[in-house]
Amino acid sequence: MMRLSSALLLLLVLPGLAAAEPVTVRAGSAPGYGRLVFDWPAAPAYRLEQQGDRVLLHFPAGTEWRLPQRPPANVMALATEGEALRLSLRPGARARHYRLGSRVVVELLDPTPEGAAEPPGRQPAERGPGTAGGANPMVAPAAPPVAVPAPVSPAAPQEAASPVSTPAARPAEIPSAAPVPAPVPALAPTRGVASRLSLPAGPAILLPFPAGTGAAILRRGEVLLLVFDSPEAPDLVPLQDDPVFGGLLAESLPEATLMRLPLAATSRLLARREATGWTLAVAPAGGEPPPEIDLATEAGPPPRLLLRAPSPGRVVPVQDPETGLPLLVGTLRQGQAAMRTGRRLPELDLPPTLLGTAVLARSDGVLLQAGTDRFTLALAGGGRLSLDTALAGPAPAPELVRSFDLPARPAAELLTQLQALQAGIAAAPPLARLPQRRAAGELLLALGLPQEAQAMLSLGFAEDPRAAADPSYAALAGAAALLAGRLGEAEALRSPAWGDGDEARLWQAALAAARSEWQPAATGFARSLPLLLAYPAGLKARLLPLAAQALAEAGETAALRRLLDAAGAEAAELALPRAMLAEAEGRSEEALAAYDRLAAGRDRRVRARALRQAVELRLASGRLDAAAAAKAIEAGLLAWRGDATELDARLRAAALYREAGKGRAALDLLRETAALFPDRGKALRPALQESFVAALAEAPPLAAVALYDANPDLRPEGAGSEQAILLLADRLTALDLGDRAAGLLRQVMQQAEGTSRAALGLRLAHLRFEEGDVAGAAAALADSAVPVLPPAQQVARAVLAARIEARRGQRDDAVAALRSLGAPGSEALAEVLVEASDWSGAAAAHATALAALPPAPAVLTDAEARLVLRQAVLLALAGDEAGLVTLREAQAARFGAGPLADAFALLTGDPLRGLADLPRLQRELQLFRNLPSRLEALRAGPPLTR
């Protein structure tokens, strides 16, 4: 990596040296033709002249060449002749040429057999920089020979000529009531004439092809692609008025024939080899499926896939009409075997077929070869190719949409191409450099050098105003800035003008992950995972840890498992997501061991995250309590400082301290956090106030008062303020500091509004009433009255107002008011009647309160037992023996052991009737002797909060 960075630095600093680099000429041979590829950094002006068996190629003056050691097929000699290159061809060979991005491709075709017609063709469209995947210069594109054109200027890109066939017809349903007119194909007959057949299964035709011609059929959208590995196509004129096959169009390839048939998805095409050609029949969808082509993985070396099929034909490269990527089609000479289920691998797709096999190449290194009983699929350079890395499910439609050209080729080859691009940039005028700068930026990004890529693309913004107006160029610069750690300069990735393709989704997910927005990041990565896995190694090494962490944080275990399997176990930078996956899958011991190893590592960010994950896992499994977990998280804060990771850890530790009953520790930690993160004060305030209330509840009364006075800025607002003040008032009341509690309640009540004012005023009125200050209680209720209150507060204020009236001597009015409240006023009504010595009325009123008790046989709580005991006292004072018996039978079994149970048994026991009851009388007398000490123990309990 150091050598690579040094070489790139020399390229940027010494453009004059790069300008002297010669143009590399590559040679290759294939059945039927030879090929020369001129690797130019930018599209040059050139012309081609053929004079018999001699071809002259004229390029810009002063060009230096790096010629191949051996010429390709059909070339006898290759040499320079003045300012041109001279090719001496095999007698009868023909030359054709076209552009492929910035490259110039010259193909030398075998001599045409005597009597055979020259196959018509079309000029291949020039690949733009946004075309995904790139094209393999060693694989012939679907482009037939072209006559020698006039010189092409680099300022006016060559446009693609229309194919020989006319536009596809509308997909036909089977059968159709009216014929669908179709244009007459321009392909001239060479071997035979297509004919219609009458078959019981449905419409059918016979396409005459020479013996041994293989065929393959697959669907791309609503169009069927029919590939025959023979260029001798039949005449389709007799089918022009056919309602089904009238839309069949043919295109001649160098060594094959490509046909397109619009056919709705509700129909299927059946193919069968006959002695005179191929029979095609249309039938409704469904029916008996064709035999399946068997897939198997061969370990190698090199590792490859085996597609076992009877009678394999040849491999025909065509261009996929949906994605523009190379589509390698394997034909069959016999049988009907097909791939019924599509598969997706990182470097390629295996789309479903109706006959034969097909490979959609996303990488330049995909190689499909035919054997005796199989097709073999491998990656150039021995890359890993296995069904174990397949992404489940058929290939999606439409395919992944790319915006950048990021070639997945070896670093040395990318560096060579970068050198040529740098030479072209140095030689081009400033306003003609933008395409080369973009291509250089993509190469640098593919090499995993985002800082250099951003520098290269920034020069384009400075030189050419078109750069800022190009959303794709701006997004490419944003991607480089993202990986360089400059998140503020990466916002172009979120521009709506860029579009919503798969590449946009991938980089927007990367930006979200860099900002710790895990859920949207995980969603984007999960949907664009095949594209990420197809990226070049240098770029993928930078993006995979980000994607894996986002998927792990968001709990996307299925996508995370696919990513980790594709990356391999040797990827050390993915150790943390792998441990998080183990935790999510329930392998706790494995996860803990991995976290502990990472916590001892050198990567500070990973170390901090591993420490946190280990603490949380031990807390969830019961190995740590909340207090110990909070201390462990706080102790690990030094592992990573200064960003959202530390802030999140501090908030989590404070929450655990509060859960453990250590509110003061939580408050101190958050006070320190607010000082370290002054810009996050607003976000920290809720946690600070919650910790402040928890500290008030835990502190001794006097310490709680001091804490409240010392932190006026932490006093909560609204319901939180009400809770804190009421809590503090109870603590002061417990110390017999009623006046201090009343003053605090009055002070806060005057500043509060709405329901908080009413609640504080009600508590102040209760405090005054319990101290015997009836006038003060009435004044507190009047001062805290508000127009609208919740029903519960309205009832509580009405009960207290009635009790105040009773203390003032208006007992009848108070009783009437309490009776009108029903059950909520029953306890207060009983108290008023007790003060009037109306025991029977008090017992009757109090009986209403007993209706709220849970049904038998549930054991009574302490508060519920006191309620029942009070009813027993009232019944005993009223002399209601029958009521006591009924109460004893209903509630005696629900009392537990203790003084309350003893008192209830004493009050509800049978009266003395003779000498036989003397032992019971003795036990009751002993109970009375012990009752004062037991009641004193009850009085020592915590005060009740009203």
Which one has a higher pLDDT value, 692 or 215?
A: 215
pLDDT (mean) for 560-589:
86
Picking from 364, 555, 326, 427, the residue whose alpha carbon sits closest to that of residue 62 is 427
CB atoms within 10 A of CB 132: 21
pLDDT at 820: 85
- The secondary structure of 4-42 as a DSSP string is HHHHHHHHHH-HHHHHTPPEEEEEEEETTEEEEEEE-SS
pLDDT at 547: 92
Identity of the amino acid at 724 = A
Identity of the amino acid at 471 = P
CA atoms of 805 and 811, how far apart (whole Å): 7
Kindly state the greatest CA–CA separation across the chain: 146
Arithmetic mean of pLDDT over the chain: 78
Q: 211-263 pLDDT, tens per residue?
A: 889 999 999 877 899 999 998 888 888 888 888 898 898 888 888 999 999 88
CA atoms of 472 and 492, how far apart (whole Å): 9
pLDDT (mean) for 27-34:
80
pLDDT at 300: 67
Picking from 362, 393, 357, 402, the residue whose alpha carbon sits closest to that of residue 379 is 362
Give yes or no for residue 681 having a pLDDT over 80: yes
Burial of 495 (0-12, 13-18, 19+ CB in 10 A): middle
The CA-to-CA distance between both ends of the chain, in Å, stands at: 73
CA atoms of 229 and 215, how far apart (whole Å): 7
Burial of 670 (0-12, 13-18, 19+ CB in 10 A): buried
Vertex 426 angle, CA 422 and 429, to 5° = 130
Q: Which range, 256-265, 318-327, 712-721, 877-886, has the best average confidence (pLDDT)?
A: 256-265
Q: 54-100 pLDDT, tens per residue?
A: 898 888 887 888 888 788 988 988 888 877 888 989 888 888 888 77
Long-range contacts of 457-460 (CB under 8 A, 24+ apart): 460/433, 460/434
Directed axis angle between helix 537-554 and helix 471-483, to 10°? 80
The secondary structure element, H or E, covering residue 94 is strand 94-100
pLDDT at 456: 94
Which one has a higher pLDDT value, 920 or 680?
A: 680
CB 648 within 8 A of CB 640: no
3-class secondary structure, 69: coil
pLDDT at 867: 83
CB 303 within 8 A of CB 297: yes
CA atoms of 607 and 596, how far apart (whole Å): 9
pLDDT at 827: 80
What does pTM read for this prediction? 0.46
pLDDT at 13: 40
Q: 181-213 pLDDT, tens per residue?
A: 334 343 333 457 888 887 776 789 999 999 889
pLDDT at 121: 39
pLDDT (mean) for 843-851:
79
Q: 481-517 pLDDT, tens per residue?
A: 999 999 889 988 988 888 777 888 999 999 999 988 9
CA atoms of 327 and 362, how far apart (whole Å): 9
The neighbouring-strand residues paired with 348 are 361
CB atoms within 10 A of CB 654: 28
Ramachandran region, residue 336 (left: φ > 0; alpha: ψ -120 to 50; beta: rest): alpha
pLDDT at 449: 94
Picking from 366, 384, 305, the residue whose alpha carbon sits closest to that of residue 339 is 305
In the structure encoding, which two tokens stand for residue 202, read together? 């449905």
pLDDT at 379: 83
65-66 and 23-30 beta bridge pairing? parallel
- The secondary structure of 533-569 as a DSSP string is HTS-HHHHHHHHHHHHHHHHHHT-HHHHHHHHHHH-T
pLDDT at 329: 96
The neighbouring-strand residues paired with 308 are 294, 374
Q: Is the dihedral of CA 9, 15, 16, 18 positive or negative?
A: positive
In the structure encoding, which two tokens stand for residue 794, read together? 């309205």
pLDDT at 278: 92
The neighbouring-strand residues paired with 54 are 51, 88
Q: 306-352 pLDDT, tens per residue?
A: 899 989 999 999 988 877 788 999 999 998 899 988 887 777 888 99
The neighbouring-strand residues paired with 35 are 28, 107
pLDDT at 153: 34
Picking from 588, 593, 580, 664, the residue whose alpha carbon sits closest to that of residue 619 is 588
Percent pLDDT > 90 in the chain is: 17
Identity of the amino acid at 235 = D
Q: Which residue has the tokens 């800082």?
A: 451
Q: Is the dihedral of CA 733, 737, 740, 746 positive or negative?
A: positive
Directed axis angle between helix 839-850 and helix 862-878, to 10°? 150
Identity of the amino acid at 103 = R
Rg of the chain taking only CA atoms, in angstroms: 44
pLDDT at 50: 85
Percent pLDDT > 70 in the chain is: 82
pLDDT (mean) for 544-551:
92
Q: Which residue has the tokens 């009986």?
A: 847
CB 839 within 8 A of CB 877: yes
CB atoms within 10 A of CB 265: 10
pLDDT at 394: 41
In the structure encoding, which two tokens stand for residue 412, read together? 């040395």
φ and ψ of 934, to 5 deg: -70, -40
Q: Is the peptide bond before 175 cis (omega within 30 degrees of 0)?
A: yes
CA atoms of 495 and 70, how far apart (whole Å): 50
The secondary structure element, H or E, covering residue 227 is strand 223-228
Position 156 confidence tier, pLDDT thresholds 50, 70, 90? very low
3-class secondary structure, 787: coil
* Reduced 3-state DSSP string for 174-225: CCCCCCCCCCCCCCCCCCCECEEEEECCEEEEEEECCCCCCEEEEEECCEEE
CA atoms of 755 and 789, how far apart (whole Å): 6
Q: Is the dihedral of CA 295, 300, 301, 303 positive or negative?
A: positive
Pick the range with the lowest mean pLDDT from 54-58, 136-140, 693-697. 136-140
Pick the range with the lowest mean pLDDT from 39-43, 422-426, 494-498. 39-43
The secondary structure element, H or E, covering residue 807 is helix 791-807
pLDDT (mean) for 739-756:
77
pLDDT at 810: 84
103-109 and 94-100 beta bridge pairing? antiparallel
Give yes or no for residue 858 having a pLDDT over 80: no
CA atoms of 423 and 62, how far apart (whole Å): 13
φ and ψ of 304, to 5 deg: -155, 170
